[in-house]
Amino acid sequence: MINLKDFRKISDYEWEIPVTFRKDMRVPVRLFATRRLLEASLDDLSIEQAVNAATLPGLVGHVVVMPDMHQGYGFPIGGVAATALPDGVISPGAIGYDINCGVRLMGSQVPLEAVEDSLADLATALDHFCPSGVGSHGGYPVTDAELDQVCRLGAAWGLKRGLATEQDLRRTEEGGVLDGADPGKVSARAKARGRPQLGTLGAGNHFIEVDVVDQIFDSAAAQAMGLQEGMLTLQIHCGSRGFGHQICSDYVSQFQEAARRYDIHLPDRELVCAPLSSPEGKDYLAAMRAAANYAFLNRQILAHGARQAFESVLAGKVKNWHLHQIYDIAHNMGKVETHQIDGQPRKVCVHRKGATRAFGPGAPGLPAEYQATGQPVLVPGSMGTASWVLVGTQTSMERSFGSTCHGAGRVLSRSQAKKEVRGDELRKLLEKRGIRVRAGSLPGLAEEAPQAYKDVDEVVQTVSGAGIARKVARLRPVAVIKG
């Protein structure tokens, strides 16, 4: 059992569990939270899971935990861990089954007040052009040979097919394609699941949401992104579908033996890992990158569908109905990056699970328009509540391996949420507040009820107070599409 007294307070927003807390820890755990959020997190196993994560071989710095943390399965959701190349480990479970689950934000010049009467039609059109639901088909199915290209090219695969623009790619993490992906390291079953599901949203907590820019906090950064108060924006939250789930499942099973072979002892089998330099580690990294590229393209195809939906409903009603890319960012990913460790630049594999990359101004790889502001960070709230646009900072580079929070973070179990909230009542309540809802499953809707989550504003206040992100704009939802 972990208590408040086990933490050393660094600031009002940062706490540490020292490496001496448990003898198998290799590095300390650093938690970004207010005292209230910290105390709330002691109710579930998230902190214990962070301490378990701190036992991974080859860790450097500290394991970071974000204020939206909650209990996961092995590695906590909201966790960041960096292992040193070449011999530190890579852990598939510390990245998650939904490889490159992430968020895309698109902006527009469509004023909410001009289209309020069309929002219901817009929600219906988005539901039509962007297939959703469990195991959803009907998106953009591909052949085996095409899938191999998708694994290598990511979102860029959509360029010649009219699904993507150069600007879309430039404003995507890594340009929408990770180098080093190898479809040869992906199982036939993962491919069989991936082929028909490309271009689909899926179910669970994945969604498409139309928002209006409610308030701007940083006008220079908002201007660079093309965000204006009163204008519509669109968010897409999803990942690599059954393709990524199968790849992670395959490697977590294979790594059970690999961990034994490399004599790695862990407090939880879900944390199984292999050295980055080992054949097993290299194979997983190449397969994970294939799934990441699939996910970048998946969100790209859904963005294309959203553009078609906007055109079908708004053409003729407003002058400009175009949706422009603001940014697309992963929050479940393993990335090889260079960070300052003990004052020296060092190549590390940063595992982010339910944490967003948040590179500061001047970071390599950012497009010219975001060099001065820092990388856009997209933090969706729970359904019916605000979402936030932030930017990465120099402090996030120094304190959290260039990472920040990814959302509100659950507090209620799914079964508890279903007991407390009925899907049909929730839909009525949201509609009453002016939010149009299209949902495939009403019980599924209830599980994602706002009261099942922490207050996203408090989470964002924490990362902003700690300096590991800066506020740019707050978005308010007007239409939600869920599988």
Partner 1 sequence: MGESGFEERRHTADWALRVWAPDLNGILEHAARGMYSLMTIERDVSPRAVREVEISAPDREGVLVNFLSELLFLLDQEGLVFDTFDLEASPTHVSARLEAVPALSIGKEIKAVTYHKLAVVESPQGLEVTLVFDV
Query: Is residue 461 involved in binding partner 1 (CB under 8 A)?
Result: no
Query: Is residue 97 involved in binding partner 1 (CB under 8 A)?
Result: yes
Smallest distance, Å, CB 467 to partner 1?
A: 27
CA separation for the pair 404, 388 (Å, rounded): 12
Query: Is residue 79 involved in binding partner 1 (CB under 8 A)?
Result: no
- List, in sequence order, every beta strand (DSSP E) within 331-418: 332-341, 344-353, 356-357, 376-379, 387-391, 403-404
Could you give the residue ranges of the DSSP H alpha helices within 363-447? 394-399, 414-420, 423-432, 442-447
Smallest distance, Å, CB 334 to partner 1?
A: 17
Among 253, 338, 340, 451, binds partner 1 (CB under 8 A): 253
Query: Is residue 413 involved in binding partner 1 (CB under 8 A)?
Result: yes
- What the block records as the tokens of 255 is 């790594």
CA separation for the pair 316, 254 (Å, rounded): 55
Residue (170 or 414) nearer to partner 1, CB: 414
Q: Which candidate, 40, 50, 106, places its Cα nearest to that of 74?
A: 50
Mapped onto helix, strand or coil, the DSSP state of residue 309 is: helix
Smallest distance, Å, CB 219 to partner 1?
A: 36
Smallest distance, Å, CB 106 to partner 1?
A: 25
Query: Is residue 70 involved in binding partner 1 (CB under 8 A)?
Result: yes
CA separation for the pair 185, 189 (Å, rounded): 12
Q: Which candidate, 111, 481, 483, 116, places its Cα nearest to that of 306?
A: 481
CA separation for the pair 255, 77 (Å, rounded): 21
Query: Is residue 93 involved in binding partner 1 (CB under 8 A)?
Result: yes
Query: Is residue 406 involved in binding partner 1 (CB under 8 A)?
Result: no
Smallest distance, Å, CB 386 to partner 1?
A: 21
The burial of 249, by beta-carbon neighbours within 10 Å (0-12 exposed, 13-18 middle, 19 or more buried), is given as middle
Stretch that binds partner 1, among 107-115, 165-173, 255-263, 297-305 (CB under 8 A): 255-263
Other beta carbons less than 10 A from residue 483's beta carbon: 25
The burial of 457, by beta-carbon neighbours within 10 Å (0-12 exposed, 13-18 middle, 19 or more buried), is given as middle
Among 248, 276, 348, 468, binds partner 1 (CB under 8 A): 248
Among 152, 245, 351, 427, binds partner 1 (CB under 8 A): 245
Query: Is residue 427 involved in binding partner 1 (CB under 8 A)?
Result: no
Could you give the residue ranges of the DSSP H alpha helices within 130-240? 144-153, 166-170, 188-197, 219-225
Under 8 Å between Cβ of 482 and 206: yes
Stretch that binds partner 1, among 250-258, 320-328, 360-368, 379-387 (CB under 8 A): 250-258
Report phi then psi at 250, rounded to 5: -60, -45
Enumerate the active-site residues.
406
* Cβ neighbours of residue 429 closer than 8 Å, sequence gap 6 or more: 384
Smallest distance, Å, CB 36 to partner 1?
A: 17
Query: Is residue 203 involved in binding partner 1 (CB under 8 A)?
Result: yes
Query: Is residue 411 involved in binding partner 1 (CB under 8 A)?
Result: yes
How many residues of this chain interact with partner 1, rule: CB under 8 A? 46
Largest CA distance in the chain: 67
Residues numbered 269 to 328 that lie near partner 1 (CB under 8 A) are 269-270, 272
Among 96, 154, 334, 402, binds partner 1 (CB under 8 A): 96
At position 412, the amino acid (one-letter code) is: L
Query: Is residue 331 involved in binding partner 1 (CB under 8 A)?
Result: no
What angle, 0 to 180 degrees and rounded to 10, lies between the N-to-C axes of helices 188-197 and 144-153?
Answer: 90
Residue (238 or 479) nearer to partner 1, CB: 238
Residues numbered 7 to 66 that lie near partner 1 (CB under 8 A) are 44, 46
Among 57, 74, 88, 158, binds partner 1 (CB under 8 A): 74
Residue (277 or 441) nearer to partner 1, CB: 441
Residues numbered 434 to 453 that lie near partner 1 (CB under 8 A) are 441, 443-444, 447
Smallest distance, Å, CB 228 to partner 1?
A: 35
CA separation for the pair 246, 236 (Å, rounded): 22
> What distance lies between CA 100 and its chain's CA centroid?
7
Query: Is residue 189 involved in binding partner 1 (CB under 8 A)?
Result: yes
Among 79, 158, 175, 242, binds partner 1 (CB under 8 A): 242
Among 9, 35, 116, 134, binds partner 1 (CB under 8 A): 134
Q: Which candidate, 288, 304, 478, places its Cα nearest to that of 383?
A: 478
The residues binding partner 1 (CB under 8 A) are 44, 46, 70-74, 77, 93, 96-98, 134-135, 189, 192-193, 202-204, 242, 245-246, 248-249, 252-253, 256-257, 260, 268-270, 272, 410-416, 441, 443-444, 447, 483
